[in-house]
Structure 1
Amino acid sequence: MEEQQGVGTPDGFQRLWTPHRMAYIKGENKPTGPGAADGCPFCEIPKGPDEEGLVVRRGEGVYAVLNLYPYNSGHLLICPYRHVADYTELDDAEALELAKFTQAGLIAVRRGTGAQGANVGMNLGLVAGAGIAAHLHQHIVPRWGGDTNFMPVVGHTKVMPQLLRDTRKVLAESWPE
């Protein structure tokens, strides 16, 4: 058995290194408080170029962006520009556009990735699992038959087959007009 450098005692396991996940684990770039001025990434992302922020599409009151820490390739977030925490805080125009963007996002994900299904939903509040509870965002997670395997359960690792910038390009090109 060949010794693996830098892993401690050799144990025969192959390792998939995901150093980009350390930022998520450490909570880097998380807001320091509940306000828009407290470093909210969903308030900052739309201020920059689409490619840099992984923005797939912009609307009047909402935008679609790739999740920086996706569950699956093509994991989209639909976010209002306005800094609100709860679905009930959206005005009628924002709620309608969020729904329309969710529909268009599903079409783009299916066209661009060949997804056979999707999970769509919101985690409202920290206790519900929201990573950034102060700014509402709807998840669209593409799914395929057999896309769950032993890696997340045994290895606490998710294998992503495509770079985020490449996924952003595919979904932007697949967005319905």
Structure 2
Amino acid sequence: MSKPVLQIVIGSTRPGRVGLPVGEWILDEAVAHKGFEPELVDLAEVGLPLFDEPHHPRLRRYEHRHTREWSAAVDRADAFVFVIPEYNHGFNAAIKNALDYLHQEWQHKPVGFVSYGGVAAGTRALQMLKPVVASLKMVPVVEAVNIPFVRTFLDDEQRLRPNEVMTAASAAMLDELARLAVALRPLRDPDLAED
């Protein structure tokens, strides 16, 4: 059986964002984990406009090319890590917009979170996003990485230099994502379900 595809989605699109080095770090962790085929998905590059489809996403009647491409990308994944900032005590619009574009493509897939910010480490954004992903029938894992005062972990080359707590948290999250990606596979592919 092939390794699950893990998409690490960088949720911030703001110029000068910290999300890119955080996402690159968790990608390196996922490669070292060896339990996945990891991919980095940068919402700044995906470039979705504010949700602009005329039909409800559950119908999968997409009229725009950007939506069809986003649908194909998300469909390919078995699990996700959302790398999210905290804006004004909540999650940012780009990640919510990306989620709202689709429906069935998200279902029965586990999701982990790497949140970052100041003193709260992005945890308020993470907690607000959990009911959103649950409504899409995603399975949020309990294990997460929360990075407080994130800029203090960037070196002169703007690469994230994690501490032991962050590294241990990422390993625990990736282990759980790997387990759930395999366990939920029959729900995503009815041909794999037992009779």
Q: Answer whether TM exceeds 0.5 for this pair.
A: no
TM-score (norm. length: structure 1):
0.27
Scaled by the length of structure 2, the TM-score of the pair is 0.25
Which protein has the bigger helix share?
A: 2
